[in-house]
Amino acid sequence: MSWSFWVLAPSPIAPVTMPDPGLIRFPKAMATDVPPPPSLAGRLTEYVALAPRTTWRIGGPARWLATFETHDALQIFWSRLSPETPRFVLGGGSNILVSDAGFDGVVLDLSCGINRITLQSPAGKETPEAIMVAEAGASTRSLAHAARRLGLSGTEFLSGIPGSVGGALVMNAGAHGRELKDILIDAVALDPDGQRHTLTPNDLQMNYRHTHLPHGWIFTAARFRLTPLDPGIIRQTMQRYNHYRRTHQPLSQPSAGSTFKNPPQGSPAWQLIAASGMRGAAVGDARVSDKHCNFFVNMGHATATDMTQLIRNVRDAVFSHSGITLETEVALLQPRGLTAF
Ligand SMILES: Cc1cc2nc3c(=O)[nH]c(=O)nc-3n(C[C@H](O)[C@H](O)[C@H](O)COP(=O)(O)OP(=O)(O)OC[C@H]3O[C@@H](n4cnc5c(N)ncnc54)[C@H](O)[C@@H]3O)c2cc1C
């Protein structure tokens, strides 16, 4: 069952009565400070399965799922969530393990209304680089293919990375020697009060699979710097990258890509896992892929408990064998929020 959470009303805004007002409170004190949002600018749905929204296909439901039609709707909703309400922004769900009990709060999904990709300025004689803007809910693959169609190079490495622009910003997603910070001009983020901030890669201290976004902030859009190139050449590069993935990664099985980050120096995580003898190790239907042993796959009915135990077993085995503690790249979403494995 779902509810539209705003109706057009003279100020102060009248939120539709919530079935569980204790969970999501709209503080009355703030209601008069903001202009009324457009009618029906968002939707709250109760008890939404999260497993189909993740690439691992694992996990329980969200207590609430919120979608938005406009940035204003997102901004107002975000700023009015009471501090005690657990909230989580879900992108493509390609780097997250949702607990079997799900998430007892509001999951924000930006993929419907906050997903536009536009060309802000083309390249010219004076400005050799073009600027593209992508909203956080757009998929990285859509961004890469939109840029290719425009004959703009720079996003080829994103064409094989699943997920959203927001998730890629948080992870500083990368592949084939490139990462998001190489093409990022700046990103727009909302703080917990709904104030907009424009942040550069320096502000965000981006490095290998890490971005410093303050707690409780959310990305809404980003600008990218791209260079003109023949679309045919861009397509060939993408095809080469994707051929490499198909050859080396178990793409036909549900996974979250690399489970662990590579250590700062020395052998990559997959080599350490292979050397520890954990290739093919399993807990229930959660299994270390034979094809790429940093990919942990769901063989059909894996639970989050299985996958968590497998991750811990592999981390322990690698430590026993090499003395190196691997850091997870994937995150674990428990009923009250993100926790460590
Ligand atoms: C087959 C496969 C291959 C992969 N290959 C690669 C690869 O080559 N390189 C690589 O880097 N990764 C890779 N990944 C991992 C993953 O695709 C990336 O990390 C991706 O960028 C995550 O984006 P997402 O939208 O799915 O994030 P999600 O999994 O939805 O979320 C990840 C984190 O980002 C946060 N988040 C999402 N959107 C926002 C937002 N708008 N504002 C604030 N926080 C937000 C979430 O709250 C969560 O903490 C791969 C995954 C798979 C399944």
By the 8 A CB rule, do 77 and 150 touch? no
pLDDT tens column, 250-277? 999 999 999 999 999 999 999 999 999 9
Give ranges for CATH 3.30.465.10 in the chain.
Answer: 117-247
- Judge contact between 48 and 88, C-beta under 8 A: no
Average pLDDT over residues 74-80: 85
Name the average pLDDT for the chain.
88
| Helix residue spans in 12-97 (DSSP H) | 28-31, 71-80
Q: Which residues are catalytic?
A: 209, 258, 329
What is the per-residue pLDDT for 233? 98
Residues of the chain with CATH 3.90.78.10: 251-339
One of 3.30.365.10, 3.30.465.10, 3.30.2040.10, 3.10.20.30 is the CATH number of 117-247, namely 3.30.465.10
Q: Fold for domain 2-109?
A: 3.30.43
When pLDDT is averaged across residues 57-80 and rounded to a whole number, the result is 89
CATH value of 251-339 in 3.90.78.10, 3.30.830.10, 3.30.1050.10, 3.30.70.1140: 3.90.78.10
DSSP string, 121-175: E---SS--SEEEEEETTSBHHHHHHHHHHTTEES-GGGGG--SBHHHHHHHT-EE
Residue 102 in this model has a pLDDT that exceeds 90: yes
Please give the full DSSP string across 169-189, using - where no structure is assigned. HHHT-EETTEEGGGTEEEEEE
Q: In what order do the strands lie in the sheet with 61-68?
A: 2-4, 42-49, 61-68, 103-109, 87-90
- Residue 52 is given by DSSP the state G
Pocket test for ligand 1, best of 74, 161, 178, 213 (most atoms within 8 A of CB): 161
Q: Which residue's structure tokens are 């004076």? A: 126
- Cβ of 56 less than 6 Å from ligand 1: no
Domain with CATH 3.30.43.10 in the chain: 2-109
Pocket lining: 166 vs ligand 1, CB cutoff 6 Å: yes
Residue 323: CA count within 13 A, CB half-sphere: 1
Query: Is the minimum distance from the CB of 171 to ligand 1 under 6 angstroms?
Result: yes
| pLDDT in the model for residue 134 | 97
